[in-house]
Amino acid sequence: MQLEINVVDAFTDTVFKGNSAAVIITDKWLADDLMQSIAFENNLSETAFLVLDKSDDNDVYHIRWFSPLTEIAFCGHATLASAFILFKKNPSLESIRFYAKAVGILTVVQTETGKIQMDFPNTKPEKVDNIPEGLLAGLSIAPVEVYKNSQAYFVIYNAEADLLNVERNNEQLKQLAPLDVVVTCQAKSDEYKNYDFISRYFWPANGGDEDPVTGSAHTALAPLWAERLGKNELVAYQASKRGGILDCVVADDRVMISGNAVEYMTGFITV
Active site residues: 46
115 in Cβ contact with 247 (< 8 Å): yes
Angle at 101 between CA 99 and CA 107, to 5 degrees: 25
Where does residue 77 rank: exposed (0-12), middle (13-18), buried (19+ CB within 10 A)?
A: buried
Q: Torsion angle, CA of 47/72/246/51, rounded to 10 degrees?
A: 50
What letters, b where the CB count within 10 A reaches 16 and e where it falls short, cover 128-155? beeebebbeebbebebeebbbbebbbbb
> What residues contact residue 69 under an 8 Å CB cut-off, 6+ apart?
40, 206, 207, 208
Q: How far apart are CA 187 and CA 161, in angstroms?
A: 11
